[in-house]
Structure formats: C-alpha cells, structure tokens
C-alpha cells in the first residue's frame, strides 16, 4: 500500500507539472522517448501535442508500475500485464484523429480527402473482417508467391503433397519432407524466390516434398489430432519415401508442424517403424511449460467452453487465431495500420510476409481442442505414456534420430527456451541446437544470400537454456547454410536427379501450389 501511494503521489506531481507548463504555453520535457508513434515533430514542438504525448507516456508507465507492484501470483500477473498493455496500446493519442497532429495536418492539406479515403478503407476492412496490413492486390499465388516449380503428387481430404522439381544434376537419395504449421498456409516457406527456404533446399540438391494442409470447412470439422498424424504427417513421409525409392526420408517441421512431427515420430518409435533418417524442428514446441503470452488465453474454463462448442465437430475460424496472434504485437500488427489506413487514408505497402499473415486458415474443432488441452493446458506431450496417439503410447524419449533444432531469440509464439528443452525430451545423442536472431517468422525466413542477422551455436547442452546461451558463440548471417551442411550428412548419398515428379502410382495431379492453398477465408 505504501509503495502504491508513493507511485500515485509521484505520478500526480509529474502530471501537475505538465499541466502547469501547458497553461503557461511552454514545453515541459519530463519524458525522454524514441517511440516511433511520436516521430512527427509536432509531438514535441507543439505544446498541446507535447502535453498529450508525455501525459500518455507517464500514465502508461504508472499503470505498468502498479501492475508490477500488485500482489498477484505469476500467471495472474502475466495476464494483468497483458491486459494493461492492450489498454495502453489502444489508448495512445496517435490512434485518434482529434489527437494525432499528422492526421489533422493531412486532413487540412488534402481538404478532407484523407478522411474520406480513410472512411472508405474502414468500410472495406469491416466487410473483410480484418485490418488490411498489406496491398493484397500485389500478390498472387503461383505468380509472385509460392513459385518454386513442382506438382501436387498426392492428395486426400486433409492435405495435398507437393513435390518440387529438381534443379541440380544430382540429388540426395533421401528426400526432404516439410511439415508446415496447419494453422497457416505452407507458403511461408516458399514466399518469393529470394526468400524461399523451399527453393534454397532444392538448389542444395534436395528432392523436396511439402505438405499443403487443407483450409478446412464444416465438412472436415470432424477431423481429430490422430487424423493429422496418420493422414497428414505419416502419409506424407510414406508417399515421399515411395516416390523417391529411398530407404528413409529426412523430415522438417515448423511451428505446430514440428509438434505434429514430434508426435508422429513417437508413434513410429512405438510401432517399431523407422521411415525417418533425421528431423529438423524450426521454432517448434514439444514441451509447453513456458508458452509465452499465448498461454494467457488458455485456461480450463476457456478450453472446456471450446470442447462443449466444437469438441466433437465444427471448426475454429482462422480469423480468431489471426486476431490473437496480432494482439500479441498490437503496436506492430494492429495500431500502425489503423493510423495509416483510417486516420491518414493511406494504402498499406506490398509486403509478402503480411500477405501470408492475413491468409488465415480454419482448424477442425476436435483436433484443435485436443491440441490445446494436451499441450498448452496440461502439457502431456512431454510426459512418457501420458498420451496415446494412433493407438500407441507417446514417448518422445524413444525418438532417437539425429536432430537439428532452431529457435529464434525474440519469438513471441514459441519462446526459445521452450524450443531448447526439446534437446532433453528426444532420445539419441546426435543433436544440434541453433538460436537465430529476430522472431518467429523473420528468424526462420532469413535467406543466406542476404547475410543478415546472427545465429548462436555451442555445446554442451545443459538443462538450463540460459546457461547454454552464456557460452554460445555468435555467428553473423543466416543459419540456412549451417543447416544445409548438417542435412547433407544424412542424405544417404547422391543419385541422378529425377526427370519428372511423382511415379507411376502417384502421378502429378496439378501444378504447385495446388488448390488447397488457394482457398482463402471470405468474410
């Protein structure tokens, strides 16, 4: 109580100084900031806007301090922090036309035309059911996104399997099968030629297969977790192995795709099957003890409500998940576009990552409910025998494959320390962990040709992730070449590149990127 009173007294004193300065017509500087929301000169040169800026920043700091000082247990405090941050971000004076000097100047300079455009943008986005983050007319799948040449060589009611054409004279005997997240479209791994991990892997001499998950509708609302393992991951591994006529395949899982791959590999181990030679996990969690802010949305009551509504059949709308992910970074993914699109009447720039981000996918209710309860809520996947998938007990410790795991340091979806814990969940001795710079997407989609950002490596791998980081070595540039060199150790040798995709049993159905990925949610 004493600390709260002292904070309140200090806050009121600073606000009084600001108000007094405003009445006197002078600029008072109590807060130093480099907040990009207040980059315009009016926020500092004009006494009124300077007051708004500093008063807001003081209030934000005060609210944060009150939350930090509140006697709450850890989970409650995290939720309070998140709620406070959402309110703080929303109430920024830059978000409102009457208190944004740039918006007011723009309205005057254009004689109100910017406001008219902004209102039209608002109406259009309301009809879409989302805030436009990029110029969606600038992109088309198969034209300037997802352009790596290939064909769909297999499909079922849950996924299509794409095989990409060889671009080298020789290829690895063992193909590389990529399992992307089912909560997003696969082409995050095949955006444009200059930043396509698929294209890079093909150019390194790999026969690459990609799972393209179906954007499910009500008719697929009955799919369960085991369907994704059996008819998704395991089927993709088997078909790729058959087409390549290889003893085994190398498998890669990204985000939730990595979680699915880990569970599928545990099923294989329990059945005594060995179709996979090595596994690559990119920003993926198998231990959900530290889930970051996403975990704040998950509790027993919310999961039980979902189970009652869609636990047996139905779908979770992709727009809901997209909004949750955007809320985690509201100052990057929501409010800048509110200001630009509606207050300034602007048009968002063309950006491939944000086009992909807006291309939401639905999930079957039973699959989603099982996933959230057994990972985020109860964290059972890491416990040997706590779950049974495809009729066998799941024990990640029995998965004894060479593993390459990548985490990214600023990942707000998969905290890197959680991804690091995979090292001690899976069995086997041949393990490599790399920590990339940046976040969940930019840290993964980091082309070698750009030579941007850094990554960290080092052994041994103690239980404590921070103990590992303290002795890890930083390397400039992308992690892609390091991974490619590692993957080549498990390629099974080389062979002449196939002249075409598919085989006599699995003939090409259509050109990549295929029908499933083109299905967009229409509001």
> Based on the domain organization, do 365 and 488 belong to the same domain?
yes
Average pLDDT, the chain: 94
Is 369 designated active site? no
Does residue 432 lie within any of the structural domains?
A: yes
Reported as a single tens digit per residue, the pLDDT across 92-118 is 999 999 999 999 999 999 999 999 999
Q: How far is CA 460 from the centre of its chain?
A: 28
Q: Which of 92, 182, 255, 369 is catalytic?
A: 255
Q: Under the phi-then-psi rule, with left for phi > 0, alpha for psi from -120 to 50, and beta for the rest, what region is 464?
A: beta
> Based on the domain organization, do 311 and 411 belong to the same domain?
yes
Quote the number of domains for the chain: 2
State the DSSP code for 145.
B
User: At residue 523, does pLDDT exceed 70?
Assistant: no
Rounded to whole angstroms, the Cα distance separating 160 from 212 reads 5
> Based on the domain organization, do 89 and 173 belong to the same domain?
no
Amino acid 450: pLDDT: 84
Q: Confidence class of residue 1 from pLDDT cuts 50, 70 and 90? A: very low
> Based on the domain organization, do 294 and 407 belong to the same domain?
yes
Reported as a single tens digit per residue, the pLDDT across 468-507 is 999 999 999 999 999 999 999 999 999 999 999 999 999 9
Reported as a single tens digit per residue, the pLDDT across 121-140 is 999 999 888 899 999 899 99
pLDDT higher at 365 or 29? 365
What average pLDDT does the segment 316-340 reach? 89
Rounded to whole angstroms, the Cα distance separating 519 from 113 reads 35
State the DSSP code for 407.
E
- What is the Cβ-side half-sphere exposure of residue 469, based on CA atoms within 13 angstroms? 13
Residues of the chain with pLDDT > 70: what percent? 99
* CB crowding 346-370: b at 16 or more within 10 Å, else e: bebeeebebbbbbbbbbbbbbbbbb
Determine the structural domain holding residue 83 and report its residue range: 2-109
> Based on the domain organization, do 250 and 305 belong to the same domain?
yes
Beta carbons of 261 and 281 less than 8 angstroms apart: yes
Does residue 431 lie within any of the structural domains?
A: yes
Q: Confidence class of residue 401 from pLDDT cuts 50, 70 and 90? A: very high
Amino acid 399: pLDDT: 97
Of 109, 136, 160, which closes a domain?
109
What average pLDDT does the segment 384-406 reach? 97
Residue 119's CB is within 10 A of a number of other CB atoms, namely: 12
Beta carbons of 190 and 210 less than 8 angstroms apart: yes
What average pLDDT does the segment 276-288 reach? 98
Output phi, psi for 153, to 5 deg.
-110, -5
User: At residue 44, does pLDDT exceed 60?
Assistant: yes
Does residue 123 lie within any of the structural domains?
A: no
Reported as a single tens digit per residue, the pLDDT across 145-203 is 999 999 999 999 999 999 999 999 999 999 999 999 999 999 999 999 999 999 999 99
Amino acid 457: pLDDT: 98
> Based on the domain organization, do 194 and 95 belong to the same domain?
no
- The SS3 of residue 316 is strand
């Amino acid at each position: 109580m004493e600390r709260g009173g002292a904070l309140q007294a200090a806050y009121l004193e600073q606000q009084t100084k600001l108000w007094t300065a405003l009445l006197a017509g002078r600029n008072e500087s109590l807060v130093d900031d480099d907040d990009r929301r207040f980059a315009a000169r009016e926020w500092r040169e004009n006494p009124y806007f300077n007051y708004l800026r500093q008063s807001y920043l003081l209030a934000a700091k005060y609210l944060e301090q009150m939350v930090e000082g509140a006697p709450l247990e850890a989970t409650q405090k995290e939720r309070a922090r998140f709620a406070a941050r959402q309110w703080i971000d929303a109430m920024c004076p830059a978000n409102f036309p009457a208190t944004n000097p740039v918006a007011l100047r723009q309205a005057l300079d254009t004689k109100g035309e910017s406001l008219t455009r902004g209102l039209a943008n608002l109406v259009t986005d309301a009809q879409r059911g989302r805030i436009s983050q990029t110029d969606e007319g600038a992109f088309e799948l198969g034209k300037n996104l997802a352009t790596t040449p290939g064909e769909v060589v297999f499909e079922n009611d849950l996924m299509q399997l794409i095989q990409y054409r060889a671009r080298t004279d020789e290829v690895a005997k063992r193909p590389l099968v990529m399992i992307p997240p089912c909560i997003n479209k696969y082409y995050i791994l095949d955006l444009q030629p200059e930043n396509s991990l698929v294209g890079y892997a093909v150019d390194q001499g790999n026969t690459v297969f990609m799972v393209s998950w179906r954007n499910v509708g009500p008719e697929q609302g009955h799919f369960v977790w085991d369907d994704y393992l059996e008819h998704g991951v395991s089927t993709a591994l088997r078909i790729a192995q058959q087409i390549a006529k290889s003893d085994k395949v190398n498998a890669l899982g990204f985000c939730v795709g990595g979680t699915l791959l880990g569970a599928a590999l545990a099923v294989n181990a329990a059945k005594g099957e060995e179709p996979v030679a090595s596994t690559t996990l990119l920003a993926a969690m198998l231990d959900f003890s530290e889930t970051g802010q996403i975990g704040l949305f998950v509790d027993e009551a919310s999961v039980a409500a979902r189970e009652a509504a869609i636990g047996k059949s139905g779908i979770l709308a992709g727009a809901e998940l997209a909004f949750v992910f955007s809320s985690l970074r509201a100052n990057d993914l929501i409010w800048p576009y509110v200001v630009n699109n509606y207050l300034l009447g602007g048009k968002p720039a063309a950006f491939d990552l944000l086009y992909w981000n807006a291309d939401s996918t639905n999930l079957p209710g039973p699959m989603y409910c099982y996933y959230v309860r057994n990972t985020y809520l109860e964290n059972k996947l890491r416990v040997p025998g706590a779950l049974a998938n495809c009729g066998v007990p799941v024990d990640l410790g029995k998965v004894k494959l060479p593993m390459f795991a990548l985490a990214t340091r600023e990942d707000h979806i998969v905290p890197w320390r959680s991804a690091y814990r995979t090292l001690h969940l899976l069995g086997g001795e041949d393990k490599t962990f790399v920590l990339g710079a940046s976040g969940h997407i930019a840290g993964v989609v980091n082309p070698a040709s750009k030579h941007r950002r850094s990554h960290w490596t080092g052994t041994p791998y103690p239980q404590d992730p921070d103990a590992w980081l303290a002795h890890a070595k930083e390397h400039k540039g992308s992690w892609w070449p390091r991974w490619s060199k590692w993957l080549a150790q498990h390629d099974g040798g080389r062979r002449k590149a196939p002249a075409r995709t598919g085989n006599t049993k699995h003939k090409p159905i259509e050109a990549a990127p295929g029908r499933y990925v083109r299905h967009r949610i229409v509001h």
